[in-house]
Structure 1
């Protein structure tokens, strides 16, 4: 009797353990979570084909991570920042995004919007080299040694040029080699003069160059002048001083504006607006010989009705700063309820296979993963892949990260600059007359924002 009772207890205990084991397997059988019910994370991006391609990657990711569902939320570029702020205020924060709008990394960081990924990455033994990411790019999104973003794309500034226009004018093509010391800003002007035709008939008018090198506050850097004090790069993007009214900054802006009104080789805003309204980009109209732009414009080359070439940005006043870099990271926002699952999706986006696939799906998004770059260089029909590689490597070597990613409260600063520079770009006011007033307004704005 005693032995029978003991046997009964053993069977009961075994049954209970088996039940608990099966229950545990049912709850933790997926690779990521502790529940059989999948979690949903939201990826927030711009509503344009070169960004929403991510939707086509989701089925593959979800098949590999059955406990994670991914939802894509999107907004037009102009509404990106405002919608993000509204969603955060309404406790509807997305899980993953980037600085796809006017605002940038430091603005997000200083507002406390970003998750510190350091511990998650350490527990996962994350190594940038496993994803072909250079350490200097990873360092852009670190503060005090802590990681708040992981690079996913690597845009640069480069020059596109209209081969047909060059051929018709009998002008030699600009070089793609960043080590060619003869390729200077003055040499570019010399070429541009040979390409420019100004007529009362807009259909006959064409300009030699459109120099859209970075945002308005970045352009002095190309000419060797600075507009922000050095502490901006060490104190969270909050410069203690600005120098928009300095002689060096005035001289730099005069060189850029001088392309329009003194040299008359660059299109005035009215012309750009007229042809851009029809084509979306003045260069696409075929009426611009050389265009200094972000490399996202290279993805549009299939839409050109002329042969396009790719060249280096010429040497300006600062030989070490010739390209603005736009390294887009992916962030996990602070209010994310599923930071580990969001991190898994970010890692997926960095793999060589997915970075190569993204190039195809987006029409030419430049990868951050070095192992996928050959695929990128070979993605533009009619353009020599070795030339694109040479330009890209040179642009990265002589590049500086865009200020809109590194200056706090940049969206408001940028809006002020755009409004205040309109009269200068339109030719209604001289640079030297406008900049002291701009300097005063920027000083007051930063005093208010950086309290």
Structure 2
């Protein structure tokens, strides 16, 4: 009897083992078998691939909505995405680089500057995707416009720029209306300067400035305005063997900015900007300036709980030195938000599906927060509607439409030889101009001599 029971126990154990071998285990195998159309057995995972998508924008400002939209659309395709935020500063970018180099769990990630794009591409942190784009029938220049060209390095694409941002000036429309000044459709430096004077009023803590240049953020950004006349590669003379820092356009523009700060007193000084750690939010949105650089602050403009205000913001074109000579739209900084693939991802093909989906319109969920798609295949009215969401009462739609227009005369710079070194010299010169220590002609002439040494 005991022998019979033992035999039954062994048989049962063998049967359990066989069944376990045919089925899945409790966590390591998630596969099921089925027959394809030809009658062959195929195996597929019943668990979706989850792509880890790293970006520098807070999740609540569009990325989570974007990921949710992707997950809904790709639910039955075996792909999902998860958003992971890194802070887009030096520390946050170092964390991203370290994770990529260490083989961390990243599939797709955003890069926000061209210098980081090159570093990550040449450093093995961003996959070169030109062949994959070609196989997908996606021509970046055709699909995204000519402003993509500076970010294709010797035919290599390390990341696609996905958003565009025309260079415009923020304006408090209420202040313009109260002063009886119509919103300009074009204007010269002299007209702009006079307008800033008229909009300046009050004294001390109650003073309202005509203009806030936001030089604390990127001191060189106001100089982009010179590109309207100088065009592409505006920091270099023809041939790239000399810098162009002493060009009369740079001199005239930056002397005007300095004079607005120190002579007219119609613009916040660079000194106050730095010492008081000012920002578009603490100046323009607080009603302390009638105009400001900073169209990228649209998230803050719409955040009435954090930055309460009831005035309407309009978008104005930049002033130019000479309307007849201003033949270009500013291309510097127009393209951005480079979407990249980790070359060490275990899901490269699926990551590319996400990249293409995001680039071709998936990112529209981020447009209300200022991420305007570069992709040419999206209806312009749809982009305007998305951008205006939650801002219908505080944004001037007529000027927003003009701001969102895709330009066909963008000045796109391609010369980058010794650019970091040249930029440092340029920034130092601007510092001396904006603090009133030197006039623009002297500072920029000296800067050219110093910067040219890097090109010898």
TM range (shorter): 0.7 to 0.9
Displacement after TM superposition at 1:187 (Å): 0.8
Equivalent pair of 1:377/1:385 in contact (CA under 8 Å): no
Q: Are 2:81 and 1:81 aligned? A: no
Equivalent pair of 2:51/2:79 in contact (CA under 8 Å): no
Displacement after TM superposition at 1:155 (Å): 1.4
Equivalent pair of 2:59/2:85 in contact (CA under 8 Å): no
Alpha-carbon deviations, 1:212-244, whole Å to 9, x = none? 59954564453345322455xxxxxxx543233
Equivalent pair of 1:43/1:70 in contact (CA under 8 Å): yes
Equivalent pair of 2:109/2:339 in contact (CA under 8 Å): yes
Match of 2:194 among 186, 190, 194: 190
Indicate the residue corresponding to 1:263 in structure 2. Answer: 264
Indicate the residue corresponding to 1:319 in structure 2. Answer: 326
Gap regions ≥5 residues in structure 1: 1-18, 30-34, 232-238
Determine the C-alpha separation between the residues in 2 that align with 1:185 and 1:173: 16
Q: Are 2:395 and 1:389 aligned? A: no
Match of 2:388 among 378, 400, 412: 378
Alpha-carbon deviations, 1:374-417, whole Å to 9, x = none? 323533313343331123327x345435x6x9747866765665
Specify the SS of the correspondent of 2:243. coil
Determine the C-alpha separation between the residues in 2 that align with 1:406 and 1:281: 36
Task: Indicate how the Cα distance of structure 1 residues 446 and 341 shifts in structure 2: closer, same or farther if over 3 A, else same.
Answer: farther
Displacement after TM superposition at 1:188 (Å): 0.8
Determine the C-alpha separation between the residues in 2 that align with 1:445 and 1:94: 37
Task: Indicate how the Cα distance of structure 1 residues 218 and 279 shifts in structure 2: closer, same or farther if over 3 A, else same.
Answer: closer
Match of 2:66 among 45, 52, 57: 57
Q: Are 2:134 and 1:122 aligned? A: yes
Specify the SS of the correspondent of 2:245. coil
CA RMSD of aligned residues (A): 4.0
Equivalent pair of 1:377/1:389 in contact (CA under 8 Å): no
Displacement after TM superposition at 1:192 (Å): 0.9
Number of aligned residue pairs: give it.
399
Displacement after TM superposition at 1:39 (Å): 4.4
Task: Indicate how the Cα distance of structure 1 residues 406 and 443 shifts in structure 2: closer, same or farther if over 3 A, else same.
Answer: closer
Task: Indicate how the Cα distance of structure 1 residues 93 and 417 shifts in structure 2: closer, same or farther if over 3 A, else same.
Answer: farther
Displacement after TM superposition at 1:248 (Å): 5.4
Task: Indicate how the Cα distance of structure 1 residues 111 and 278 shifts in structure 2: closer, same or farther if over 3 A, else same.
Answer: closer
Q: Are 2:206 and 1:204 aligned? A: yes
Q: Are 2:228 and 1:227 aligned? A: no
Match of 2:167 among 139, 157, 166: 157
Determine the C-alpha separation between the residues in 2 that align with 1:89 and 1:408: 27
Task: Indicate how the Cα distance of structure 1 residues 266 and 172 shifts in structure 2: closer, same or farther if over 3 A, else same.
Answer: same
Specify the SS of the correspondent of 1:285. coil
Alpha-carbon deviations, 1:79-122, whole Å to 9, x = none? 34333333344343843333325835445445554423222223
Indicate the residue corresponding to 1:42 in structure 2. Answer: 52
Indicate the residue corresponding to 2:255 in structure 1. Answer: 254
Indicate the residue corresponding to 1:244 in structure 2. Answer: 245
Max radius of gyration: which structure?
Answer: 2
Q: Are 2:371 and 1:365 aligned? A: yes
Determine the C-alpha separation between the residues in 2 that align with 1:221 and 1:358: 26
Displacement after TM superposition at 1:345 (Å): 0.9
5 Å-filtered alignment, 1:172-191, equals 172-175=181-184, 177=185, 180=186, 183-191=187-195
Specify the SS of the correspondent of 1:227. coil
Determine the C-alpha separation between the residues in 2 that align with 1:41 and 1:412: 38
Task: Indicate how the Cα distance of structure 1 residues 127 and 421 shifts in structure 2: closer, same or farther if over 3 A, else same.
Answer: closer
Q: TM-score, normalised on structure 2?
A: 0.72
Alpha-carbon deviations, 1:248-297, whole Å to 9, x = none? 5444432332322233321102443577658744211211112233x322
Q: TM-score, normalised on structure 1?
A: 0.72
The structure that is helix-richer by fraction is 1
Alpha-carbon deviations, 1:160-219, whole Å to 9, x = none? 111232233x231322x4xx5xx22211111111112363x2x22221123459954564
Equivalent pair of 1:283/1:291 in contact (CA under 8 Å): yes
Displacement after TM superposition at 1:311 (Å): 2.0
